[in-house]
Amino acid sequence: MNSASSRARTLKTVGALGMAAATAVLMTGCGQSPDSATSAATSEAAKVVPQKQTTSPSASARLTEDQQERKKVLDATKVTFDDAATTATGEVAGGKLVDLDLEGVDDDDQDQSPSPTGSGSPTGSASPTGSASPSGTGSPSASPGSEGPIWVAEVAEKDGTVHTVRINAVDGKVIEARVDADQDADDKKQTADRLAQATQTPQQAAKVATEKKKGTVTSVGLDDNDGKGVVWQVDVVGSDWKKTTFDVDAKTDTIVREETDND
């Protein structure tokens, strides 16, 4: 009886130990599998997230059509605003600059190019075009508009008579210089009056604008300030290829308006 009882206790003990070992194996197996799967999933997610973050900024950095066009024109332009202004006023004795635009930077510049070429030959003042050395070559007068950028200037005599001067923005040569044929007495008087009010030069206004925003001057024009005197409107294109227009008081050299074109 004692022997049988001892064997029974031994078997129970061995069975209990076996069940405990099996339970430990099952628990260990179940515990490792979810942890390893979670760790793997986390590792994969960490690899994917940075890739998504690095691709998004490149899409937002793309330029608009207007910005691409400005970049294209300015990359090709070699003659600065200051040099173009000096060349333009040199074509008219005692002339003062009223307006200077780099074609292609502003949308409204596009409708300026056909008029000078169309009315270039019948200007009667064949002497300005004849005296300009580039006109002797004939072909360049028609081609620079399509082959490269052009500065278009309006220069006024003392009585307000306006001359249009077109300058190749790559080599600085005068393409055309002519008297505007569609001016009347009132137009000339208005121009002369505005110039008389403008005690600051367009170069000074351009300096004020570029001190406010670093960039390239693409347009300067004298305009009325809603009956409050006159302003120089200055366009500056920055390194982001956005255009900012400044209205600079033509007497005090202070900025009275600023507007950025985000297109």
**Is residue 155 within 8 Å of 162, Cβ to Cβ?**
yes
Beta strand 255-261 pairing with 174-179 = unpaired
**Does pLDDT of 83 surpass 90?**
yes
pLDDT digits 0-9 by tens, 207-234: 999 999 999 999 999 999 988 899 999 9
**Predicted local distance difference test score (pLDDT) of residue 121:** 34
For residue 248, give its domain range.
69-261
The answer to whether position 51 is within a domain reads no
Q: Measure Cα distances from 145 to 9, 31, 162, 168, 241 in Å.
A: 110, 77, 22, 8, 22
Does residue 138 belong to any structural domain of this protein? yes
> Per the domain annotation, does 2 fall within a domain?
no
pLDDT at 19 (0 to 100): 53
Q: Would the pTM of this model clear 0.75, i.e. be above it? A: no
Rounded CA-CA distance 234/202 in Å is: 8
In a domain, 143, yes or no: yes
Say how many domains are in the chain: 1
Positive or negative: CA dihedral 78, 80, 81, 83: negative
Q: How confident is the model at residue 238 (pLDDT cuts 50, 70, 90)?
A: very high
Read off the pLDDT band of 50 (50, 70, 90): very low
What are the pLDDT digits (tens) for 113-172? 333 333 333 333 333 333 333 333 333 333 344 568 999 999 999 999 999 999 999 999
135, 168, 200, 256 from 77: Cα distances, Å: 21, 9, 26, 29
The Cα-based distances of 196 to 201, 206, 253 in angstroms read 11, 19, 15
Complete edge-to-edge strand list for the sheet that includes strand 216-224 = 174-179, 162-168, 150-156, 96-102, 216-224, 230-237, 243-249, 255-261
Residue 26 lies in a domain: no
| Distance of alpha carbon 166 from alpha carbon 145, whole angstroms | 10
Q: Return the ∠ at Cα 196 (arms to 84 and 177), rounded to 5°.
A: 35
Beta strand extents in the chain (DSSP E only): 96-102, 150-156, 162-168, 174-179, 216-224, 230-237, 243-249, 255-261
The span from the CA of 218 to the CA of 263, in Å, is 16
The whole-angstrom separation of Cα 250 and Cα 234 is: 11
Q: What are phi and psi of 247, to 5 degrees?
A: -100, 115
Residue 262: the pLDDT is 81
Whether residue 253 lies inside any domain: the answer is: yes
Q: Does 40 reside within a domain?
A: no
